[in-house]
Chains A and B, each alone.
Chain A
Amino acid sequence: MQTSVSPTPRPRRDGRGRFFREYGWAYLFILAPVLLFLVFTLYPVASAFVMSFQQYKVMGSTWIGLDNYSRMMTDDVFWKSIRNTVIFTLATVPVNIVITFVLAYLIFQMKNKAQTFFKATLYLPAVASGVTISVVWLAIFDPTDSGLLNRFLGLLGIDPVIWLGQSGTALFSLILMNWLGSHGAGIILYLASMGGIPKSLYEAADIDHASGWTKFARITWPLLKPTTLYLLVTGIITSFQVFISVYLMTQGGPNFATTTIAYLIYQTAFQFYEFGLASAQSFVLALLIVIVSVLQFKAFSSDVEY
């Protein structure tokens, strides 16, 4: 079923010319992105890395070795922010993938017109700016009994909850907002890949009287792995870097209950002007994400080539 015929790199036979004929195109194809990357991404990242060993001052920084890193390690708030970020990520990314997948799967069963309708409407929230969305969510989480969510709870006979104002519910509120946020992009990607799965595979399975579950586990899920991996990795990156909803909704409060690493980095850099420390925090965050991503690649990409 898998037609794994990826072009295996042939051994170099007659030196440089051969090498160029073999791979020159590939290098040329990635040349522009890599050049842009070197100038506009790698250079700033490298500068930030240098900064993480300095006390940054615009007129002349001082080298302070690992001070920023040790200060960070002894800071309670930093550890709290790691904890919050990990909780947020664990609670959102897998659930979002499931929601996205289920919605895409449901849509895939529809007729063409209905597919179009649902794809379009589910993608639409992505076009609204973060500010607009947060205004609406602030109204939903309004702590008084006139708040939308509280009015709903009132119908069920439950007392109003101060959603964003107490440590117990604040982080959960942000998670809830994320669950109900936009899944349109993921749905579109899943649908594109689902459409790419050859019908013949299912027909063959039907002949073998395979159950729905078997078809899902043997055909649909494995063939959607590249998409799932992409959604997982980018989902983890964005959720580890979750900033804007914290900034607009809770500003890290109450009592650091919603302070994420990205928010802490923002505070360190722009409220306290400690750019060196902020850089150190960023590189620890990046390391964390890289480790998680490598694990995901290991778990997902071994058998996706076909």
Chain B
Amino acid sequence: MKKTGWLLSLAMLVGVTTACGGGGGSNAAGPEDKDTVTVWTYPVYGEYESELKERVAKFQDEHPNITVQTEMLSWSEGPQKFDVALNAGNPPDLYFHSVDGTYVDTGLALDLTPYMTDDIKNDYLPGTLELAQIQGVQYGLPLYQFQWGWGGNKRILEEAGIDWENIQSEGWTWTEFKEAASKLTGKTADGSPQYALVTDGSSLDFIEMLSRNNGMPDVLDDAGKFQWNDERILDTLSFIRELMDSGYVPKETAALDPTKRTDMFYAGQAAIISKAIPYYDVMLAARNKDIDAGTVKGEKIDFVYLPVPHNDNAPAKTTTGGEGYVAFKQKNDKGEQHAENTFMVMEYLSDAEAGNASNELALPFVRKSQQEAFAGKELGTETTLSAAENMAENAELPVTLKLDAALAAKQKQFKEQVVKPNMQALYSGEKTPDQIAEEFKSKGSQSFGQ
């Protein structure tokens, strides 16, 4: 009996510790050899997943030796999964994201320079390829150039007599905004408060967009010089404080999240929300249809895409950036042929047909071939598209594209550890603009040595 006991335990042990399967990476040498390219991506727009599947199938028909493995990640957890894989030395070959200095800093981002033929380069519209370069080196191909503005509720704007068409074409100053805001603040039909502007308390877009419209491209400028240490940032903070004190912005801002912001916009409690993309036009049109069909309850809302107001003496700037596929190699490098295959897949997923991303999102195209392929098929209303085009003219590229990785990382840390908590303290009224500007100055000189 004793023996059976031993044997049984051993058998269980062996079963658990050795149940390992195998699977290997491939080492392609020639252009005809079998190879697998992995792609991690996101639901960029509604139909992206199914379109991608079709396109990948077509690509594999044309290149039977290459298998393309795609994985659709969710926006919320996907980045973490990628971060773990990248820092374990095993990133996917292609990843959908904006290029990032920290990626380059790992030494695993693939320099695309050798593969960028003139044909490809010339197809990109001026100023777009730069969106996927870090310090001049190409690491990705942009799929679209995004931009952030503010979003307005047409009914409320018009009832208050705001000439939004003029704002779309000419822009507006902080003074003009305050005038408008006083007319937009009040009560909704059902008696709940109606705010001129609703923002959320957790993200940094609001302060970044406003300071950008007060002469500061970011915490640092292109050259790495610290910006948020003088009157300009103090003015910006005081402007926000003033909006809250006047009741134009909800006093609960510190505890509002982006979902709540959208919710208040839908409920007609927000005349303007502090972050919007042209795609909202398409999205709200779909919602209005659902309301007509009776599947959704609520008020129909017509969307007005608005530029962010600029300080009276500073130029208007639109917050932009590029997203698309970024290429990586692995710690255990799979060789030159694999890199070439990776680029081939990348170019295929960024070609004329892929212009549908810009089209669906109602953004300006990034490639000439895409413009041609989608001419006359644009989604989004004429008004929003032309407003977006207007705003693209004073686009401010992200400074992180020009900064070296270490400095970009420092800026990120400064934003998370100094800016974010101080903005929350500003919203909740726990600190004054002066105190915050002072803290930015002292903490900034510690972080950046300036």
Contact = CB atoms under 8 A, between A and B. Distances in A.
A142 B260 contact: yes
B409 A272 contact: yes
A233 interface: no
A138 interface: yes
Interface string B397-438: 000000000000100110011001110110110100000000
B430 A167 contact: yes
Contacts of B417: 77
B87 interface: yes
A31 B422 contact: no
B9 interface: yes
B253 interface: yes
Contacts of A267: 416
B107 interface: yes
A290 B430 CA distance: 37
A56 B255 contact: no
A31 B106 contact: no
A261 to B, nearest CB: 15
A254 B431 CA distance: 12
Interface stretch (B10-18, B22-30, B136-144, B237-245): B10-18
A32 B331 contact: no
Contacts of B86: 58
Nearest to B106: A58
A273 interface: yes
Contact of A32 (B12, B260, B409): B12
Interface residues of A, number: 35
Contact of B252 (A31, A32, A144): A144
Interface stretch (A88-96, A158-166, A197-205, A207-215): A158-166
B80 A162 contact: no
Contacts of B421: 253-256
Contacts of B420: 253
A71 to B, nearest CB: 12
Interface string A151-179: 00000000010111111000000000000
A271 B430 contact: no
Contacts of A58: 86-89, 106-108, 331
Interface string A251-276: 10111100000000001001111010
Interface string A39-66: 0000000000000000011110000000
A270 B428 contact: no
A253 B106 contact: no
A118 B62 CA distance: 62
B87 A255 contact: no
A72 to B, nearest CB: 13
A255 B416 contact: no
A270 B80 contact: yes
A270 B80 CA distance: 7
Contacts of A142: 260
For the residues of A in contact with B, the DSSP-based class is loop
A171 to B, nearest CB: 14
Contact of B428 (A29, A59, A165, A273): A165
A286 interface: no
B59 to A, nearest CB: 29
A143 interface: yes
Contacts of B424: 165, 253-255
A36 interface: yes
A253 to B, nearest CB: 5
Interface string B60-91: 00000000000000000001100100111100
B256 interface: yes
A270 to B, nearest CB: 5
A28 interface: yes
Contacts of B83: 270, 273
B254 interface: yes
Contacts of A141: 255
Contact of B255 (A31, A77, A143, A275): A143
B255 A162 contact: yes
A35 interface: yes
B202 A273 contact: no
Contacts of A166: 254-255, 428, 430
Contact of B108 (A29, A59, A162): A59
A27 B357 CA distance: 61
A56 B88 CA distance: 11
B430 A255 contact: yes
A271 B416 CA distance: 9
A58 B9 CA distance: 40
Contacts of A32: 9, 12-13, 16-17
Contacts of B151: none
B250 interface: yes
A275 B108 CA distance: 17
A273 B79 CA distance: 12
Interface in A18-36: 28-29, 31-32, 35-36
A31 B13 contact: yes
Contacts of B256: 143, 165
B340 interface: no
A2 B189 CA distance: 74
B13 A255 contact: no
Nearest to B14: A32
B19 to A, nearest CB: 12
A254 B428 contact: yes
Contacts of B202: 251, 253
Contact of A272 (B13, B107, B257, B413): B413
A70 interface: no
Contacts of A256: 421
A301 interface: no
A57 B107 contact: yes
Contacts of A59: 89, 106-108, 331
A254 B428 CA distance: 8
A165 B102 contact: no
A165 B255 contact: yes
Nearest to A59: B107
Contacts of B430: 166-167, 254-255
Contacts of B105: 57, 273
Interface of B: 6, 9, 12-13, 16-17, 79-80, 83, 86-89, 102, 105-108, 192, 201-202, 250-257, 260, 331, 409, 412-413, 416-417, 420-422, 424-425, 427-428, 430
Given A58-B106, A255-B425, 10 more contacts: A31-B9, A138-B257, A166-B430, A167-B425, A167-B430, A251-B202, A254-B255, A270-B80, A272-B412, A273-B102
18 contacts: A28-B9, A32-B13, A77-B417, A143-B255, A162-B252, A162-B428, A165-B253, A165-B254, A165-B424, A165-B427, A166-B430, A254-B424, A254-B427, A255-B425, A255-B428, A267-B416, A270-B80, A272-B413
- A-B pairs, top 5 by smallest CB distance, nearest first, are A165-B255, A165-B254, A254-B424, A143-B252, A143-B255
